[in-house]
Amino acid sequence: MDSSKLAFKLFLENPSALASGEIVPVFHNLIQQKAVPDHLLIDVADYEHVPNGPGSLLVSHEANIHLDDGQGRRGLLYIRKQPIAGDLPERIRQVLRYTLEVAHKLEQHPSLAGRVKFKTDELAFRINDRLHGPNSTTTYEAIKPALEAVLAEAYPIADLTLEYRPASPLDLFEVKVKSSTNPGAAAMLECLGFFPAVA
């Protein structure tokens, strides 16, 4: 599967812990601090008024980073836009890494006072590329070994379940992942070999 337009979403443990728009100044602070490695952070947009929408958006050259309400569930969504070097497992690994790094930054951000915590016993993997990653069983069979290999690295002692349900070709390809453990973003980064930076 020849695409880097991959995405992961982590869900908030307590979605009501954040007021509408509260993450916007935090995203601005991340820009000021150049806080996301290997990313040129550019701007912030607020779409909190859109029901089940894109929420608050941190725009970078490399990716769009949302605190979104898609499918009625608030969470951190990292959508890669630019190519990543390496084979498919390495591209998946890097996108998961950046998702976890932003999650860890938000969990540790002083202005949020520890109110933000992301669940890691479930996540969603998506392909934001209908040309190279159509929503089909063929795509699932093509990416499954690579996705399983990366997840096994991130969750070394967990039982994992991958769920793909064929849907409309107009919908993005998505795999739902459930884990028997909830290790946290920092622990998963360490398992992947990326030690979380101090916020």
Q: Determine the pLDDT at residue 199.
A: 44
Distance from chain centroid for Cα 117: 14
Q: What is the mean pLDDT of residues 59-65?
A: 98
The string of pLDDT tens digits covering residues 161-180 is 999 998 888 899 999 999 99
CB-based contact 168:90 (threshold 8 Å) = no
**Band of the pLDDT at 51, cuts 50, 70, 90?**
confident
Reply yes or no on domain 6-191 having CATH 3.30.310: yes
- Whether residue 198 is predicted with pLDDT greater than 70 in this model: the reply is no
Measure the CA–CA gap between 68 and 9, rounded to whole angstroms.
9
- Whether residue 49 is predicted with pLDDT greater than 90 in this model: the reply is no
Which neighbouring-strand residues pair with 150? none
Sketch the domain layout of the chain as residue ranges.
Answer: 6-191
% of the chain with per-residue pLDDT over 70: 98
